Amino acid sequence: MNSLKYLFVAVCLFAIGAQAQQSPQTGNEPRLPKGVRGLEESTANPPSPNWLLEAKDDEQRFQRIQIYAGGTYEQMWQIGYRYEQVYRAIIDENWELASHHWKKLRSVFDVALIKRPRRTPNAEVMFLDTMWAQFEEALQGGDTEDIRQTFLTEREACIACHVAEKMPFLNDTPVFRDTASFPSN
Ligand code: HEC
């Protein structure tokens, strides 16, 4: 019974905390960020947390969604994460997990290309239409050494595209450094 009571108090405190976080009473006037141009004309005055519904019309709403969706980087962030998960899955010889992340990585890449179509030629030629399938096939084959070697070739494709897209500095990071080889079994 006692522990139930504690649980109840904990839940209440959490709810109050969450409420406080949602609407902190700083007394500051709400205003739009200076960093995004053209927002003022499209907004109810004063702006509220109802950021999408308060826009003047659907055109303005779509504009906000587009701003919110960002550029390639939003998906590349996730691609970096899934790429690392694939690397770890290979060490664990968990081919199904590797394939899961590898497929998601591809879908997410296509989303990036809807937003940044100038990246599509390099993305498809250097990776999606070429290299991507090789690793999927290696996984289906189930040969550890082949899977490891093919993954390292995929790594080269990621790196080459960053160079082709004139952002070679993206390669000098732990994401690529830590996946340059596999520990021996
Ligand atoms: C079109 C060729 C292309 C390919 C292929 C590619 N990338 Fe990228 N990547 C980019 C571009 C362009 C950016 C910078 C995007 C931006 O800042 O808008 C980027 C950024 C990144 C970032 C930094 C994201 C951030 O801002 O936090 C990571 C991590 C990354 N890529 C990982 C990978 C991995 C892993 C692969 C291979 C599975 C890969 N990329 C394949 C073009 C590519």
Give the per-residue SS3 of 141-175.
HCCHHHHHHHHHHHHHHHHHHHHHCCCHHHHCCHH
Q: Which residues line ligand 1 (CB under 6 A)?
A: 71-73, 76-77, 79-80, 83, 119, 122-123, 126-127, 154, 157-158, 161-162, 165, 167, 170, 175
Q: What is the pLDDT of residues 86-127, one digit of tens each?
A: 999 999 999 999 999 999 999 999 999 999 999 999 999 999
Q: Atom 39 of ligand 1 has which residue's CA nearest to it?
A: 158
Q: Atom 29 of ligand 1 has which residue's CA nearest to it?
A: 80
Q: Atom 15 of ligand 1 has which residue's CA nearest to it?
A: 73
- Which pLDDT does position 31 carry in this prediction? 86
20 Cα to the center of ligand 1, angstroms: 38
Q: What is the pLDDT of residues 167-183, one digit of tens each?
A: 999 999 999 999 999 99
Which of 87, 79, 82 shows the shortest CA–CA distance to 183? 87
Q: Atom 26 of ligand 1 has which residue's CA nearest to it?
A: 73
Q: Does residue 44 come out as left (phi exceeding 0), alpha (psi in the -120 to 50 range) or beta?
A: beta
The yes-or-no verdict on residue 156 having pLDDT over 60 is yes
Domain ranges in the chain are: 1-30, 35-66, 73-177
The mean pLDDT of 124-139, rounded to a whole number, is: 98
Give the DSSP letter string of the chain: -HHHHHHHHHHHHHHHHHHHHHS----PPP---TTSTT-GGGS-SS--S-TTTTSSSHHHHHHHHHHHH--HHHHHHHHHHHHHHHHHHHHTT-HHHHHHHHHHHHHHHHHHHHH-GGGHHHHIIIIITTHHHHHHHHHHHT-HHHHHHHHHHHHHHHHHHHHHTT-GGGGSSHHHHTTSS----
78 Cα to the center of ligand 1, angstroms: 9
Which of 6, 12, 20, 115 shows the shortest CA–CA distance to 69? 115
What's the pLDDT band for 17 if we cut at 50, 70, 90?
Answer: very low
What's the pLDDT band for 12 if we cut at 50, 70, 90?
Answer: very low
The mean pLDDT of 14-42, rounded to a whole number, is: 70
Counting residues of the chain whose pLDDT is more than 90, the rounded percentage is 69
- Which pLDDT does position 161 carry in this prediction? 98
Location of structure tokens 């290979």: 90
User: Which of 2-11, 24-33, 56-65, 107-116 has the highest average model confidence (pLDDT)?
Assistant: 107-116
